[in-house]
Copies of this chain bind each other. A is one copy, B any other.
Amino acid sequence: MWDGQVFPDSCMQVGPFEPCQEPHAGTVINAALFPNITMQCRRLQSRQCLFRAGQPCRALFIVNAGLFKTSVLSEDGRERVTGFHLRGELLGIDSFDMPTYACDAIALDTSEVWELPLSWLKGEGSDLLPFITGMLAAEIRRDWRWMLALGTLSAEQRVVAFLLDLAARLQSLGYSAQYLLLRMTRADLGSFLALQLETVTRALSHLDATGVIAVNRREIRIRDETRLRSMLTCP
């Protein structure tokens, strides 16, 4: 099934997400919203940690470039990835009402975030609160969709759901919806989808074998989106 490169050369620079001139309707925060503040910008390398659960929470962060994973940890060491976050998404909102962060946020690629100090948000920048509220509510709905998916779909279907979700989000940011570069490991993916990494690998291999996608390590090409989508509707 593997027929050379997944990505044509013209797509190989999917890398760090470049600033996009037309923000996605409604959901993406951009600098135009904050004329009155010179926002702190922070760059991170892959695998670098933006914040950890338990650290004092003094700011939220807007992803401007790159990709982050957030994860929670139990007292006895069980870990779980709770989400992957692209440009325009807000990191740390879940701790909005808390003195410390509730999750870890780790860059999966060279990334850049803007810092929104909580002190500013609660004073001068309080116009933004409805916006934050909307993001919080949207996060809940997203979590619930995933809880639904994880509770009702098979391993392969979960992987398909993930690919389609990622493709749609990339597309809404102006990128190709067919060429995906998975910046996370199979283990991260498995943790998010409540699967073992071997199961993720097997699912991808099988999807490749049936021809709906082409897989080469972390490069994925979607070959038949319609068929992919149909795999979700009929159990």
Q: Is the interface of A mostly helix, strand, loop or mixed?
A: helix
Whether A233 contacts B94 by the Cβ 8 Å rule is no
For A133, A153, A191, which residue has the most chain B Cβ atoms within 10 angstroms? A133
Whether A136 contacts B140 by the Cβ 8 Å rule is yes
Whether A141 is near chain B, meaning CB under 8 Å from some CB there, is yes
| Cross-interface CB contact of A129 among B103, B133, B140, cutoff 8 Å | B133
Whether B146 contacts A147 by the Cβ 8 Å rule is yes
Per-residue CB proximity of A72-93 to B under 8 Å, as 1/0?
Answer: 1011101110100000000001
Whether A132 is near chain B, meaning CB under 8 Å from some CB there, is yes
Task: Give the distance in Å from the alpha carbon of A80 to the alpha carbon of B152 in the complex.
Answer: 8
Whether B82 contacts A144 by the Cβ 8 Å rule is yes
Whether B148 contacts A151 by the Cβ 8 Å rule is no
Task: Give the distance in Å from the alpha carbon of A74 to the alpha carbon of B148 in the complex.
Answer: 8
Count of chain A residues with a beta carbon within 8 Å of a chain B beta carbon: 43
Whether A23 is near chain B, meaning CB under 8 Å from some CB there, is no
Whether A133 contacts B97 by the Cβ 8 Å rule is yes
Whether A144 contacts B94 by the Cβ 8 Å rule is yes
Whether B103 contacts A72 by the Cβ 8 Å rule is no
Task: Give the distance in Å from the alpha carbon of A79 to the alpha carbon of B82 in the complex.
Answer: 21
Whether A219 is near chain B, meaning CB under 8 Å from some CB there, is no
Task: Give the distance in Å from the alpha carbon of A75 to the alpha carbon of B152 in the complex.
Answer: 13
Per-residue CB proximity of A183-200 to B under 8 Å, as 1/0?
Answer: 000000001001000000
Whether A95 is near chain B, meaning CB under 8 Å from some CB there, is yes
Task: Give the distance in Å from the alpha carbon of A82 to the alpha carbon of B151 in the complex.
Answer: 11
Whether A148 contacts B102 by the Cβ 8 Å rule is no
Whether B96 contacts A141 by the Cβ 8 Å rule is no
For A98, the closest partner residue in chain B by CB is B137
Complex interface: chain B residues within 8 A of A191 (CB):
151
Task: Give the distance in Å from the alpha carbon of A80 to the alpha carbon of B141 in the complex.
Answer: 13
- 7 CB < 8 A contacts A-B: A76-B235, A79-B152, A97-B137, A97-B138, A136-B137, A151-B191, A151-B194
Chain A residues within 8 Å of B, Cβ to Cβ: 72, 74-76, 78-80, 82, 93-98, 102-103, 129-130, 132-134, 136-141, 143-148, 150-153, 191, 194, 232-235
Q: A75-B233, A95-B137, A136-B136 are in contact. List 8 more A-B contacts (CB 8 A).
A: A74-B148, A76-B233, A76-B234, A79-B152, A80-B147, A93-B137, A133-B136, A146-B147
